[in-house]
Amino acid sequence: MSKFILLGLILTVPSIFGEKFRFDNYALYKILPKNLGEIKFLQGLYESDNRFDFWTVPGPFAEFVNVLSSPEHRNDLETFLVAHDIDYEIPQFNLQDAIDREAVKPYVRSDLTTMGWDSYYDLDAIYAWMDDLAKEYPSIVTIIIGGTTFEGRQIKGVKISHGTGRRIIFLEGGIHAREWISPATVTYITNELLTSDNEETVAAARDFDWYIFPVTNPDGYVYSHSTFRMWRKNRRPVRDTFGVDLNRNWNNNWLVVGASSDETRDDYAGHGPFSEPETRTLSTYLASIGDKIDLYLSFHSYGHLLLLPFGNTTEPLANYNDSMAIGRRAMGALSVRFGTQYKTGNIAEAIYKATGGSIDWVKETLKVPLVYCYELRDNGTEGFVLPPSEIMPNNLEVMDSLLDMILQARRFGYMSGGFEVRASLSVILMALLAKWLYN
């Protein structure tokens, strides 16, 4: 590339997309509270001091709390921690370095080989790739539109179907914009379902209808690429600021706990349940297929957790015991390949009470039998800026867990899937045999 073109890019890109925010010398803290008293101090800071970006919430069960600080405020943060005798590490001294290493790659239209999982991709790339999948596998893949965004984009997905009459597995990715590993996981699962020759994967692809939405917060995801890497919410203007947390906006125990009515905060729940076009349209779409969904998975990062409903109470509600047993076994399968340990629990007992999330609404309103939320890699060292070298290990272990989850679900009497078809076939054969015997 000539110097002239390079200069042209530098000069025009900011004017088209707005200045890209830099995180030079922003430091990521991994705070290690020793007891509930220390967690209480951190909670106070989380609630009162908006100079710090809490990447994880200081819930009662927090093993660590990640906080991002600008260089100007690091001193105050450390003074606070030292004054309260709270231990901490600093895994990242310059977040911009980690961001620079993320290596976002272009996707070349009509060339499926240019999609991969050793780097991250922007929304246009993911959408173009999905369009190409529908062209490459016309009898299996169809483009589905789950809704629309505030800025007028489509919530685009793919449906993978090998025939009619199948139950549904629904995958929801990217509802929080900055959690880039989520779309990267969901696109990988999609690709495996279409290209793998692993027997179990092939069976999973054939036995179910897969409804897959890698990016359910497209406006936020675009903004996290173009302008502000750490963006979480959607992009609706609210008073002097922007954005509603789309995973606090669902109509289930809305704004009851672990969500904010302050529009400047990252967990701002919106001005009412389903106030946002993204959640409103996606939930309407979900309701239209709800009675056919056997398994609903939401993908977030990070923290090595498998969460199940509900977020308002640690009480075991609905089919908690079965969901826990199936989830734990699946996380056992996840750990085999690289030893990554996930903790399984309902939202309130595993992290903190939080309501208005998609999985609680899907569970209670649509009565979907199995509903989980993955909090993917990692465990507080890189956080949202997970290095590209970890995308594949993450994807491989998650794929292992997903196949095992389907297996366990069947063992526990959930998700008949392909069995339904085979069972009815044997019923017909038995009936024919009986008829023949008695004639």
Ligand X SMILES: *[C@@H]1O[C@H](CO)[C@@H](O)[C@H](O)[C@H]1NC(C)=O
Site for ligand X in 337-376 (CB under 6 A): 341, 343, 364
Q: Under a CB-based contact definition with an 8 Å cutoff, are residues 309 and 270 in contact?
A: no
CA dist 240 and 261 (Å) reads: 14
Q: Does 178 bind Zn ion (CB under 5 A)?
A: no
> Which of the choices ligand X, Zn ion, none does residue 275 contact, using the CB cut-off of 5 to 8 A by kind?
none
Given phi > 0 = left and psi -120 to 50 = alpha, else beta, which region is 365?
A: alpha
Stretch that binds ligand X, among 72-80, 116-124, 288-296, 306-314 (CB under 6 A): 306-314
- What is the C-alpha separation between 327 and 312, in angstroms, rounded? 20
Number of residues interacting with ligand X: please give it, by CB under 6 A: 15
Shortest Cβ distance from residue 179 to Zn ion (Å)? Answer: 5
* Residue-wise DSSP of 353-371: ---S-HHHHHHHHH--SEE
β-strand partners of 143: 158
- Footprint of Zn ion on 295-324 (CB under 5 A): 300
176 touches Zn ion by CB under 5 A: yes
Please say if 375 is a catalytic residue.
yes
CB under 5 A: which stretch of 7-15, 173-181, 273-281, 331-339 binds Zn ion? 173-181
Residue 248's binding partner among Zn ion, ligand X, none (Cβ under 5 to 8 angstroms by kind) is: none
List the one residue from 224, 379, 394, 401 that touches ligand X (CB under 6 A): 379
Q: Is 87 in the site for ligand X (CB under 6 A)?
A: no
Q: What are phi and psi of 332, to 5 degrees?
A: -65, -45
Could you tell me the smallest distance in angstroms from the CB atom of residue 298 to Zn ion? 9
310 part of the interface to ligand X, by CB under 6 A? yes
* One-letter identity of residue 246: L
Counting residues that bind Zn ion (by CB under 5 A) gives 2
| Closest to Zn ion by CB, 176 or 329 | 176
Rounded Cα distance between 215 and 149, Å, is 11
CB of 327 to ligand X, least distance (A): 14
Establish if 58 lies at the interface with ligand X (CB under 6 A): no
Report CA-CA distances (Å) from 366 to 70, 267, 362.
43, 24, 5
Catalytic one of 179, 364, 375, 382: 375
> Using the rule CB under 6 A, which residue among 313, 335, 365, 416 binds ligand X?
313
Contact partners, residue 86, CB within 8 Å, separation at least 6: 31, 32, 33, 34, 38, 41, 42
Catalytic residues: 375
